[in-house]
Amino acid sequence: MANITLSIPEDLYRLMKRYKSINWSEIARRAIVREILYRKARDEGLTLRELGMLLDVSGIPLTGERPTLDEGELQDRLRRRERRRMEGLREGVSS
């Protein structure tokens, strides 16, 4: 596994030190995974493995049931949903 270094403001660091029981590396890892996979879903779709990772870091439990959609259909639905979301955001900005 690779390592990265994050720079944060000193006042935030002091606050983080007050909560030593929190695994800050895990929180940062989950945020990075979530952001990367949201963008990948928007741009090109996700594989089933990537979707599983996204659901995991988002705290959405898997039921163990196999999806009824094939991967291509699932990606198409994700793209359409993201397109609608982006259009809604654009409409909100232009109002």
* Cα 17 from Cα 76, distance rounded (Å): 44
**Within-domain flag for 3:** no
Contacts of 56 (CB under 8 A, 6+ apart): 62
Which letter does DSSP use for residue 22 in this model? S
What are the tens digits of pLDDT across the range 47-84?
888 888 888 888 777 666 655 667 788 788 888 889 88
Q: Examine residue 48 and state whether it is found in any structural domain, yes or no.
A: yes
The residues, any chain, with a CB within 8 Å of residue 16's CB and separated by 6 or more, are: 8, 22, 24
pTM: 0.57
Of 86, 67, 54, the closest CA to residue 46 belongs to: 54
Q: What is the mean pLDDT of residues 5-21?
A: 95
51 within a domain of the structure (yes/no): yes
Q: How many domains does the chain have?
A: 1
With respect to residue 2, please indicate whether it lies within any of the assigned structural domains. Answer: no
The answer to whether residue 67 sits within a structural domain is yes
**Residue 1 located in a structural domain:** no
Top mean pLDDT of 1-10, 32-41, 85-94 is at: 1-10
Identify the H or E element spanning 86: helix 71-94
| The two three-digit tokens of residue 39, written as one number | 């963008």
> Which residue segment(s) compose the domain that 44 sits in?
11-94
